[in-house]
Structure 1
Amino acid sequence: MFATTFTASQIRQAEAVLLDDESVPDQLMQSAAHAVYQVADVLLRGDTGDAGEAEDRVLVLAGGGGNGGDALYAGAELALAGHGVDAVLVADEAHERALTAFRNAGGTVLDELPEYLWSHRLIIDGIVGLGGGAGLRAELAEVVEFCRSRARLDTQILAVDVPSGVDADTGEAGDLHIPADVTVTFGGWRRAHALSPDCGLQLLADVGLPGRPLQTLLIDTLPEWAADGPPLVVSARAVVPDLALPEGITTMPPGWRVDVEPGAADDKYSGGVVGIFAGSGTYPGAAILCTAGAVNATPAMVRYAGPQALEVVRAHPEVVATESLADAGRVQAWVFGPGADPGLDTADQLRWVLERQEPVLIDATGLTLLATHEDLRELVVKREAHTVLTPHDGEFTRLREAVGLPEGSRWQETRALASELQCAIVRKGRITLVATEELLEPVAAVDAGHSWAATPGSGDVLAGVVGAHLASDPESHALQFLLAQAVAVHASAAKLAAATPFGDATAPASRIASFVREATARSGAI
């Protein structure tokens, strides 16, 4: 499944209903703080499950608002549980009742930041949350630098609701922001949890008043999927760490399971034949990597057409290869561009593919041609079959500028370009965004959960994987989810490729391709 995310305004509306019905002051705040305490306790115990060493302490960074109150109440619970807890009040004021509870529980308020970061094993970021924007005020620069210069690897940062300096609605971060290892939020996912890698591991706590969970209010009273509501952003996380979490606290879901098992009546053609035009004399490996991604992602036939036909067959004898697009034979989807020569007649070859009736995925050199050839962009707009573009941020910017769209937040830009070009956009990154031309359709965000796919040739493998998925359902009516799940399979393969008996190491693209099968089998499972 994919998780629905909510805007800050929607969260506030739902919280307001519960705040009006509190039987004691700060009842909802203390419910949230208890979830922060539970997660902090899990992080302090670590893999061993014990309470940690006596000298390991917790540092609470408390702002003056409700986020700081959450952190101070959580700090009070940690102190009562036997943990050593200090707090630094980063604002001119603090939540009075929470601060009193913190002091009464044995917490210590420091006048300034500790001299040494390694004196604290866990930092709780309660500076600002839902109401914060992209970036913190300049006087907090020392606090930000303190958090970013963690000298001890097991010093973790736990953000309350949203990391400070990250905009809750766009996921954009200013120059001064605090990246988190873990973020715990309440009732429903914020947009930032789908859009910002600075959230680290995203956790959701089911909080509220007795018999009235906040999550229910969000779902029942704020149906953001309605046509007159805000644009919908949904999210999944490809790789979720194995962490023993308390009841009522969950991770971002991993998406849907991918089922590639052939049926009794299927053959090598019926599962969706994908055709690949990739590689050149300069980049022969792109052809091999792209076809490897496709071969490992589908039980159906993979066809290759291009200048590296002989090398592709040597590497993958199951591929049917030719040097000419026209001789490739029937396919259900095309992948065009990874490592292709931008000169010669490549623009004409892309034109030939775009004029056909099959879905097309365009990557790398194909994207460069689109950015520089207005007539090719016009063909994309006019196509009836699915067209999928897979740019990284640099390629995306060139396309956006070519069509004259203004700069904006990452997800809003992606949605706008998909609408402008009447196609699907898979905007690659640690968090990959998938948007289609239909503005009422959700934008899907896939958090890889790691960055091991940031390696040469990984994008070529991804193009093959996504192209194979596209060929399996060429007329898909839930295209963004089909594409997003293919992205998640690739991200999972990269994590599996990095694994060694001694810990994670490098994940070369060829190794990522070899783990696509295992990642497919693992898809949709935490």
Structure 2
Amino acid sequence: MRTAYRIETVRAAEAALMAKLPPGALMDRAAAGLAAACAGLLGRGRVSGARIVVLAGSGDNGGDALYAGVRLARRGAGVTVVRLGSRVHEAGLAALLRAGGRVADDPYAALARADLVLDGITGIGGHGGLRPEAVPLVRAARESGAVLVAVDLPSGVAADTGEVAGEAVRADATVTFGAYKPGLLVDPAREYAGAVRLVGIGLELPGEPDLEALQHADVAGLLPAPAAESDKYGRGVVGVVAGSKRYPGAAVLAVAGALRGGAGAVRYVGPARDEVLARFPETLVHEGPPGEAGRVQAWVIGPGLGDTPGLDEVLAAEVPVLVDADGLGLLDPEAVRSRPAPTVLTPHAGEAAQLLGTSRERVEAGRLAAVRELAARFGATVLLKGSTTLVAAPPPGPGAGGDGPASGGAVRVNPTGTPWLATAGSGDVLSGLTGSLLAAGLAPRDAASAGAYLHGLAARRAARGAPVAALDVADALPAAWRDVAGTEPGD
């Protein structure tokens, strides 16, 4: 599992470690890791003679960059410093000058010739975008064609939130120290980080991170597997209330995801009975209302629902409920908070904006804040879809289902997916898949996280660099499941 920590936590861990180490030892560790990463980016045989420019600001990141420059200069690189701000790390600058580095007479000429540029302009505590004097230098670095490496975090992005409030460095790679910062894993800042490499410097961090990204092994441990004595009802039954006369396809897609999500059976309730059975004859269908359809262990409601009734009845059920699409616009926060069982909401940014009474642009700019606010406001687990899908659990209380500590636990960011997944109906497949995992017994945050992970992985497999349709994603889910679980066809 990849974990990220807020700046306050990282700084406390750094202070505790520095108290045990000789002066400058921690910065030396960071500089050594940064120099090694730069050598790898240049090619091990290309350090000698390489032209490297250090954009050095006044913070510790500037010091890390300068001391990394010392190591690279000793290996034969030509290192030039461009000073930004009224001061830089004087000891680091002095060490670099002794190693043969120099301060640029003409910063733009140095940047135009550079093979690699180190962004040490601002530290992890920087706020807002780049200062005006740094903007033309950063643009010149990008235009030069040099490899642009951010030190710890691209300058101009917010470390704790992933927000980008103005001009910022768009790096080819970021070398971060001690721990990932949330902004490195969450858009829009993630897009500015490039390839991210973590350099360990010996920090001891607390057990509860602020953000976490599951990996294959984590998801494999969550996936349900039938035992020899399992039957279809014992594995869980998921109910799907979706589709309308206008949007029957939404029902088909939600059922497609549900059938591949680990539950033993799928009950469909709605007006798209014929379309669902034509594609998936194994579905248990009922014209409604949901309360008369038979027992389920979880409900999914909303995809293509239009004004079809059923939401109030589903929310009254004492089982987990996932609400998506059209169902979200009908929600009353108090009704969700007072439910006796957990609720999962799966909005995209536009739907999240409507639920929060704000603009889509504001949600996109502050995705972490939006998903946390939604989880707290509705007392629900929220899966916020988008370029980085986020999952936040609510604080404990009615409707929370006991999922997560007092804060709601770490927000989870999904590392799988592809831009080709931005296609009509893909969210319906995700809803069915996640609802099926709920019915199979996963806790809400785990079901949402595993569902997003499998969904993104299936989309990658289905697309392989080409346009993909929602049913293609659903059809690729078994292969994605086998990939994660480490099983082979026939196991």
Kindly provide the amino acid, as one letter, of the partner of residue 399 in structure 1: L
Distance apart, 1:358 and its partner CA: 1.8
Long gaps (5+) in structure 1:
208-212, 226-231, 240-252, 371-375
Cross-structure match for 1:441: 408
Distance apart, 1:397 and its partner CA: 1.5
Closer/same/farther in 2, CA of residues 238 and 88 from structure 1, 3 Å limit: farther
Kindly provide the amino acid, as one letter, of the partner of residue 58 in structure 2: G
Distance apart, 1:156 and its partner CA: 4.5
Does residue 44 in structure 1 map to residue 11 in structure 2? Answer: no
Cross-structure match for 2:372: 415
Cross-structure match for 2:169: 178
Cross-structure match for 2:475: 514
Identity fraction in percent: 39
Distance apart, 1:258 and its partner CA: 3.8
The 5-angstrom pairing of residues 485-496 of structure 1 reads 485-496=450-461
1:235 is paired with a residue whose SS is strand
Does residue 383 in structure 1 map to residue 339 in structure 2? Answer: yes
Tell whether the 8 Å contact from 2:325 to 2:347 is kept in structure 1 after alignment: yes
1:74 is paired with a residue whose SS is helix
Q: Give CA deviations for 1:225-278 in whole Å, capped at 9, x if unaligned.
A: 4xxxxxx52310569xxxxxxxxxxxxx96554433211111122222212122
Which TM-score applies when normalising by structure 2? 0.84
Tell whether the 8 Å contact from 1:238 to 1:492 is kept in structure 2 after alignment: no
Cross-structure match for 1:166: 157
Closer/same/farther in 2, CA of residues 112 and 450 from structure 1, 3 Å limit: farther
Cross-structure match for 1:355: 316
Cross-structure match for 1:15: 14
Does residue 467 in structure 1 map to residue 442 in structure 2? Answer: no
Tell whether the 8 Å contact from 2:155 to 2:169 is kept in structure 1 after alignment: yes
Mean alpha-carbon deviation: is it higher for 85-94 or for 437-446?
Answer: 85-94
CA distance in 2, matches of 1:86, 1:317: 69
Cross-structure match for 1:365: 326
CA RMSD of aligned residues (A): 3.1
Distance apart, 1:331 and its partner CA: 1.6
Which TM-score applies when normalising by structure 1? 0.79
Cross-structure match for 1:394: 350
CA distance in 1, matches of 2:48, 2:461: 36
Tell whether the 8 Å contact from 2:375 to 2:393 is kept in structure 1 after alignment: yes
Q: Give CA deviations for 1:342-383 in whole Å, capped at 9, x if unaligned.
A: x3xx2x31112112222111111111222xxxxx44321221
Kindly provide the amino acid, as one letter, of the partner of residue 374 in structure 2: L
Q: Give CA deviations for 1:297-356 in whole Å, capped at 9, x if unaligned.
A: 225212222222222222233333333343533221111111222x3xx2x311121122
Mean alpha-carbon deviation: is it higher for 355-364 or for 457-466?
Answer: 457-466
Long gaps (5+) in structure 2:
396-405, 487-491
The 5-angstrom pairing of residues 74-113 of structure 1 reads 74-83=68-77, 85-107=79-101, 109-113=103-107
Q: Give CA deviations for 1:457-500 in whole Å, capped at 9, x if unaligned.
A: 221221122111111116x3xx323322222222222222232x
CA distance in 2, matches of 1:300, 1:272: 5
Cross-structure match for 1:329: 294
Kindly provide the amino acid, as one letter, of the partner of residue 9 in structure 1: E
Closer/same/farther in 2, CA of residues 85 and 360 from structure 1, 3 Å limit: same
Tell whether the 8 Å contact from 1:135 to 1:166 is kept in structure 2 after alignment: yes
Tell whether the 8 Å contact from 1:461 to 1:513 is kept in structure 2 after alignment: yes
Cross-structure match for 1:373: none
The 5-angstrom pairing of residues 29-428 of structure 1 reads 29-45=27-43, 51=45, 57-83=51-77, 85-107=79-101, 109-114=103-108, 120=114, 122-146=116-140, 156-195=147-186, 196-197=189-190, 198-207=192-201, 213-214=202-203, 216=204, 218-219=205-206, 225=208, 233-236=210-213, 257-298=221-262, 300-326=264-290, 328-341=293-306, 343=307, 346=308, 348-370=309-331, 376-401=332-357, 409-428=366-385
Does residue 458 in structure 1 map to residue 426 in structure 2? Answer: yes
Distance apart, 1:144 and its partner CA: 4.2
Distance apart, 1:86 and its partner CA: 4.3
Kindly provide the amino acid, as one letter, of the partner of residue 255 in structure 2: T
Closer/same/farther in 2, CA of residues 176 and 306 from structure 1, 3 Å limit: same
Q: Give CA deviations for 1:382-431 in whole Å, capped at 9, x if unaligned.
A: 211111111112211211129xxx99953234223322222211112222
2:134 is paired with a residue whose SS is helix
